[in-house]
Amino acid sequence: LADILLLDQFTRNMFRDTPKAFAGDAAARALAEELVASGKDQALSPFMRWFAYLPFEHSEALTDQVRAVALFTCLLDDAPPGHEPAFASALDYAKRHHEVIAQFGRFPHRNAILGRESTESERLFLQQPGSSF
């Protein structure tokens, strides 16, 4: 879990608004996959699992987005008493990420940072309030 946090969260915050922010994504996703495939994620607390599943949510692969929604759905079922609203919000966030990838095949808000050309539909989307994560 510590390695996932370093690769997924630290890079996002230390290198925000630069391509380096996403440099650890593939490695974090591979570690998350290994953790889930082994079933070892189930030994973690729900709060720890939340962070362990974020690499799937941060992925631009639709299959990973589907997986993120499934994992966060299960996580909501395991939410500690009194924390259900936070876990419901996490599931909603995963669903919103999924919708963007289903529509565009990538996160348009990363385009400028990664030097990618935005399509007209992506430009229109980015003008909407709350379109960036």
CATH code, domain with 27: 1.25.40.10
131 occurs within a structural domain: no
What pLDDT score was predicted for residue 133? 79
What is d(CA 7, CA 86) in angstroms, rounded to the nearest whole number? 24
133 occurs within a structural domain: no
What is d(CA 39, CA 113) in angstroms, rounded to the nearest whole number? 35
Given a cut of 90, is residue 97 above it in pLDDT?
Answer: yes
What is d(CA 68, CA 22) in angstroms, rounded to the nearest whole number? 18
84 occurs within a structural domain: yes
88 occurs within a structural domain: yes
80 occurs within a structural domain: yes
* DSSP H or E run through 119: none
The whole-model pTM stands at: 0.95
- Alpha carbon distances (Å) from 48 to 53, 58, 100, 106: 9, 17, 25, 26
- Count of domains forming the chain: 1
Alpha-carbon 66 to chain mean position: 11
54 occurs within a structural domain: yes
What confidence tier does 132 reach under pLDDT thresholds 50, 70, 90?
A: confident
Range of the domain at 113: 2-126
Model confidence pLDDT, tens digit, residues 26-84: 999 999 999 999 999 999 999 999 999 999 999 999 999 999 999 999 999 999 999 99
Across the chain, mean pLDDT equals 97
41 occurs within a structural domain: yes
What is d(CA 119, CA 132) in angstroms, rounded to the nearest whole number? 16
132 occurs within a structural domain: no
Share of the chain above pLDDT 70, in %: 100
